[in-house]
């Protein structure tokens, strides 16, 4: 069966510090991968998606970036965090592009102080 992992689970970082969040998927190959941010009381905001190694599409211009160095690994990064980057970051995957039925990881709660 397929599983998706995210780490760390919780992170507290000062403003201006760098960020690296990692997501890995097991039990599948060639998944589409997604990064979302969920702010309190708001819906899920798609940040990046990737259909293959090295292929990244950005949905929202901001100080975040994403990379996919391996088929089942997706990384979210920032060089300098802002207060507004606080939120719940979720990684998701799908293997069926026709339906785009997405399965989510456990999430990383980021607090920028």
Partner 1 sequence: QKEVEQDPGPLSVPEGAIVSLNCTYSNSAFQYFMWYRQYSRKGPELLMYTYSSGNKEDGRFTAQVDKSSKYISLFIRDSQPSDSATYLCALRGEGFQKLVFGTGTRLLVSP
Residues of the shown chain interacting with partner 1 in the complex, contacts defined by CB under 8 A: 6, 41-44, 46, 49, 59, 88, 90, 92, 97, 99-107, 109
CB of 16 to partner 1, least distance (A): 26
d(CA 31, CA 3): 12
> What 3 state SS string does 54-67 have?
CEEEECCCCCEEEE
CB of 65 to partner 1, least distance (A): 18
Closest to partner 1 by CB, 79 vs 96, is 96
Closest to partner 1 by CB, 30 vs 80, is 30
What sign does the CA torsion over 90, 49, 73, 4 have?
A: positive
Closest to partner 1 by CB, 80 vs 96, is 96
CB of 73 to partner 1, least distance (A): 18
3-state secondary structure of 84: helix
The helix (run of H) or strand (run of E) holding residue 76 is strand 73-78
CB of 78 to partner 1, least distance (A): 21
Tell me if 56 sits within 8 A of 66, measured CB to CB: yes
Closest to partner 1 by CB, 15 vs 60, is 60
């Amino acid at each position: 069966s397929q599983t998706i992992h995210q780490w760390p689970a919780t992170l507290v970082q000062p403003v201006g510090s760098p960020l690296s969040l990692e997501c890995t998927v097991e039990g599948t190959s060639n998944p589409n991968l997604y990064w979302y941010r969920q702010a309190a009381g708001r819906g899920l905001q798609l940040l990046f998606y990737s259909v293959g190694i090295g292929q990244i599409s950005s949905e929202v211009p901001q100080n975040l970036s994403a990379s996919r160095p391996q088929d089942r690994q997706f990384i979210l990064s920032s060089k300098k965090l802002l207060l507004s980057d606080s939120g719940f970051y979720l990684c998701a995957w799908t293997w069926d592009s026709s339906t785009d039925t997405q399965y989510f990881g456990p999430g990383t709660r980021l607090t920028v102080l």
